[in-house]
């Protein structure tokens, strides 16, 4: 009987030891099985993490239209804020000079506030539309009698065939015609759209840049001029053309007759990596917001 009791106790002890080993084994296996799940979750987190901003450095050089200048500088400032190691410069020297600079590699990019001429197309550059713009006809705010002009009246004023404000419903005062310098994209577009190319009256005052025309008209009560929409402010008074207000909405609706594209031209071989990235940036929603903030008309 005593022997039987000893054997029973030994059997119970053996079963207890076996159960403990089995539990330890299960725990170890369970832990080992769960470990890959933790690693998988870590890998997933790493995949979802945002990529670091691309490192970019170098120069972006641009020259051309003074009409594009405000937009060009604003876009460049934002681009440099995104990429602090990039240096961006814009020279407002006129459309023809900017297109020529881009062709000759003086600057990487050229801008024009008009369509590219056939003679310039022969240089084989890539052309892109940056935005659209209207050209506003402006007079001095003191000229309260004249608020609307027809395309024919504007044409005859710039041809020198209408010389007094009384001929278009204004005061009996000689009209001071203000135009832009040779090579100006705004002048080229204005003369083409109003149809008096190369026939500007010899009595016209010539002002450099949109800013020059704006200042001359603002200071002379008898003056008439034309400026980019981006230069419209309270110092000058816009007139309606054929009864249509010079607004972005009317340009988009194609009801305002004096409008044109803002162009960028370049030779691919002349572009730095930074310049290529800048061209891509000009197509973003952020760039479109900047274009519109500066008075341009963004394209879809």
Domains of the chain as residue ranges with CATH: 58-131+262-293 (3.40.190.10), 134-259 (3.40.190.10)
- Please check the confidence at residue 52 and state whether its pLDDT lies above 60: no
Tokens of 13: 């002890």
- Lowest-confidence pick of 8-22, 139-153, 204-218: 8-22
Q: Quick: pLDDT tens for 210-267.
A: 999 999 999 999 999 999 988 999 999 999 999 999 998 999 888 999 998 999 999 9
Task: Give the pLDDT score at 252.
Answer: 84
Tokens of 206: 């010539």
- Residues 2-30, mean pLDDT to the nearest whole number: 45
Residues 6+ apart with CB under 8 A from 35: none
The span from the CA of 131 to the CA of 300, in Å, is 9
The span from the CA of 181 to the CA of 51, in Å, is 49
Tokens of 283: 């197509």
Supply angle C-alpha 20, 21, 24, rounded to 5.
90
Mean pLDDT of the chain: 86
Task: Give the pLDDT score at 273.
Answer: 97
Q: State how beta strands 58-64 and 109-112 pair.
A: parallel
- Residues 91-96, mean pLDDT to the nearest whole number: 94
| Total number of residues shown for the chain | 300
Tokens of 37: 């799940």
Which residues share a beta bridge with 244? Answer: 241
Task: Give the pLDDT score at 150.
Answer: 98
Which residues share a beta bridge with 260? Answer: 133
- H helix intervals, 220-258: 248-252
- Please check the confidence at residue 41 and state whether its pLDDT lies above 70: no
Tokens of 202: 């010899």
Please tell me which residue, 295 or 256, carries the higher pLDDT value.
Answer: 256
- Lowest-confidence pick of 13-17, 24-28, 101-105: 24-28
Task: Give the pLDDT score at 185.
Answer: 87
Tokens of 244: 């249509």
Task: Give the pLDDT score at 54.
Answer: 62
Please tell me which residue, 229 or 153, carries the higher pLDDT value.
Answer: 153
Residue position matching structure tokens 């998988």: 40
What confidence tier does 143 reach under pLDDT thresholds 50, 70, 90?
Answer: very high
DSSP-derived secondary structure letter, 127: E
Write b or e for each residue in 69-87: b if 16 or more Cβ atoms lie within 10 A of its Cβ, otherwise e. bbbbbbbbebbbeebeebe
Left (φ > 0), alpha (ψ -120 to 50) or beta: where does 115 sit?
Answer: beta
Helices 209-219 & 66-82 angle (0-180, nearest 10): 130
User: Which pTM was predicted?
Assistant: 0.65
DSSP-derived secondary structure letter, 142: T
What confidence tier does 42 reach under pLDDT thresholds 50, 70, 90?
Answer: very low
Residues 6+ apart with CB under 8 A from 88: 59, 60, 62, 76, 77, 79, 80, 278
Tokens of 270: 């002349």
């Amino acid at each position: 009987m005593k022997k039987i009791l000893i054997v029973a106790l030994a059997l119970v002890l053996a079963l207890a030891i076996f159960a403990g080993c089995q539990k330890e084994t299960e725990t170890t296996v369970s832990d080992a099985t769960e470990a890959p799940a933790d690693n998988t979750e870590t890998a997933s987190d790493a995949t979802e993490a945002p990529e670091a901003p691309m490192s970019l450095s170098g120069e972006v050089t641009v020259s051309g239209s003074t009409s594009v200048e405000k937009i060009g500088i604003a876009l460049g400032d934002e681009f440099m804020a995104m990429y602090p190691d990039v240096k961006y410069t814009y020279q407002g020297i006129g459309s023809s000079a900017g297109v020529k600079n881009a062709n000759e590699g003086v600057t990487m990019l050229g801008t024009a506030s008009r369509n590219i001429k056939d003679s310039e197309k022969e240089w084989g550059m890539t052309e892109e539309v940056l935005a659209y713009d209207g050209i506003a006809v402006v007079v001095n705010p003191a000229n309260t009698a004249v608020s609307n002009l027809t395309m024919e009246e504007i044409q005859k004023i710039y041809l020198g065939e209408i010389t007094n404000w009384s001929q278009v419903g204004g005061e009996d005062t000689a009209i001071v015609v203000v135009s832009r310098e040779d090579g100006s994209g705004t002048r080229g577009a204005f003369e083409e759209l109003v149809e008096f190319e190369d026939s500007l009256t010899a009595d016209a005052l010539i002002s450099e840049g949109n800013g020059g025309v704006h200042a001359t008209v603002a200071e002379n009560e008898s003056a008439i001029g034309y400026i980019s929409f981006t230069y419209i402010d309270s110092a000058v008074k816009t007139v309606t053309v054929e009864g249509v207000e010079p607004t972005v909405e009317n340009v988009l609706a194609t009801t305002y007759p004096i409008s044109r594209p803002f162009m960028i031209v370049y030779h691919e071989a002349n572009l730095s990596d930074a310049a290529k990235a800048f061209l891509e940036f000009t197509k973003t929603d952020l760039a479109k917001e900047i274009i519109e903030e500066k008075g341009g008309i963004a394209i879809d």
